[in-house]
Chain A
Amino acid sequence: MPAISARKLTFTYAGAGTPSMENISLSIEKGEFVILTGPSGCGKTTFCRCLNGLIPNFYSGELHGDLFVDEENVSDKSTAELSKHIGFVFQNPENQLFSLTVERDVAFGLENLGVPKEEAVTRVSWAMQSTGIEDLRNKAPYELSGGQQQRAAIAGVLAMKPNIIVLDEPTSFLDPKSAEEIVGVIARLNREYKITTILVEHRLDIVSRYANRVIIMDKGNVVLDGSPPQVYDEQARLIGIGLPKVTTLFHMLRRDGFPLTTNPITVEQASEQLSRVLQR
């Protein structure tokens, strides 16, 4: 069974005239690294709120269709139960950290789940090691840099050993160097532990190289779904997706008649193709 399976999922917020998300049918396989993007109001946040049961448990409205997350039917489970299966990381790590030390913060979710002390200790060390913050265990969260705080937030989610992680623009508060490092950490967790990763992101420049799949939503529907080079075409640009700048450049050059075939996702891919054209 896939990690996530949605069938004809439709949700209308209470008081709203039209659905925010309509007839979403998709499945995400275990171990995939998926970028979920689309203009504001496209329904991506609504979809994510369904994944951990915030919809319909905390947001009232009308929900139709079926949703399975890690083989659990979401409508039978509480948000707390779902947190063992799926973890969430948000934009601003400050909103996720509140304990006196990093270690306490990473352990917080486990304590709430009632995980036995010994196992909790092992998991916390493992999570801190996997995110490269073991040296910071006794520091207060406010003493950390933004990048370190975001690592701590990811460690807190990782300690719950979820099979799926959803990250909502996890780098937008970070400087570009720290952003690259965080995306590297996320990609490594996906690769090493096969954690299914869903990254909600507007800035596609630094994340695209790690994703095997991009899902683009618009006006409550999935409009494009495929590998980054497939999806980053003219249609994506017209919807208003902020494609990587090298991809945008290739679209322009192609319209000018340059014989360029695939859409590059990274600077290296773009440089390689352009060099060939220029040196011919």
Chain B
Amino acid sequence: MISVDNVSYRYSGTPKDVLTGVNLQIQDGEFVAIMGENGAGKTTLVKMFNGLIKPREGSVYVDGIDTREKSVAQLSRDVGLIFQNPDHQLFAETVAEELSFSLRNFGFDEQTIKRRVTNISTALDLEKYVDSSPFVLSGGERKRLALAAILVWDPKHIIMDEPTIGQDYLQKDRLRQFIVQLISQGKTIIIVTHDIEFVAECKPRIVLLSKGAVIADDSAPKILTNDETLAKASLVRPQIAELIHQLPISEKPPDIIDAYAAREFLLTRLLKRNETEELR
């Protein structure tokens, strides 16, 4: 469990808190999206989860341990953080070395390293590049490599900062399936994202930050259809939610945010109106 206990934070030499009085609990195996406007404090918050930033006011506990009591290296064994920009993370000569680096540091034996590198590069569709330099990969592929380089040591809690940037639709779909698979293995998944349509499809719990404070914490359908809350965090409704909102019909369910649910609703509505013949 990750527990944030009344945390405020200010970068040295700056006049304003980037986080103010944040309280948050994330259970093991949860899927959470942290959303909010540019500069809301999202990245600062997740950097506290693996100890890259230690709180000065309040505390962050990972599995019951105060992050101030452990080094980033120790915390990273359980909390994997994948940066927004893969180039901040990648440095090795080949993909295979990139993937085995941390495993060597954690003291795994060569046989295990080899097996894990093979498994993860297959899972993330990187096997054809194992002997290539990370810098010949495309932006989207480097992003997948950065993810693989963390997942390879099998951390319990996985944080992804803007994982969908630069990914095409099929890759996003694969990422979504991969996240589902990780959750089913009991991993905690935390994503920081602006990608409303991705969130509308995956439906994680959403923690909404604005100006450093948590302004809402609820299910995706609840938050993504609440205009007042969305506006505060510079977000907009997903297209489908906006469509249902605009339809001039009565008795609309308030929480439709994806195309599948919208289709169900519209079909039922039409059938009710005895227009079945027209449909056939």
Contact = CB atoms under 8 A, between A and B. Distances in A.
B171 interface: yes
B141 A40 contact: yes
Interface size class of B (residues with CB under 8 A): 35 or more
A243 to B, nearest CB: 8
B166 interface: yes
B38 A178 contact: yes
Nearest to A169: B166
A139 to B, nearest CB: 14
B247 A274 contact: yes
A219 interface: no
Contacts of B269: 278
A271 B168 contact: no
Contacts of A277: 270
A240 B275 CA distance: 33
Give the interface size bracket for A toward B: 35 or more
Nearest to A147: B38
A267 B244 CA distance: 9
Interface string B234-260: 111011101100111100000000111
A92 B83 CA distance: 14
B39 A180 contact: no
B140 interface: yes
Interface of B: 36-39, 85, 138, 140-141, 162, 165-172, 194-197, 200, 233-236, 238-240, 242-243, 246-249, 258-260, 262-263, 266-267, 269-270, 273, 275, 278-280
Interface of A: 38-41, 45, 91-92, 145-147, 169, 172-180, 202-203, 205, 240-242, 244-246, 248-249, 252-253, 256-259, 267-268, 270-271, 274-275, 277-280
18 contacts: A45-B138, A145-B39, A172-B194, A174-B194, A177-B37, A178-B234, A203-B195, A241-B169, A245-B239, A248-B259, A249-B243, A253-B263, A253-B266, A256-B263, A256-B267, A259-B278, A271-B247, A274-B266
Given A175-B234, A202-B168, 11 more contacts: A40-B168, A145-B37, A175-B194, A177-B234, A177-B235, A178-B37, A202-B166, A241-B169, A244-B239, A245-B200, A267-B239
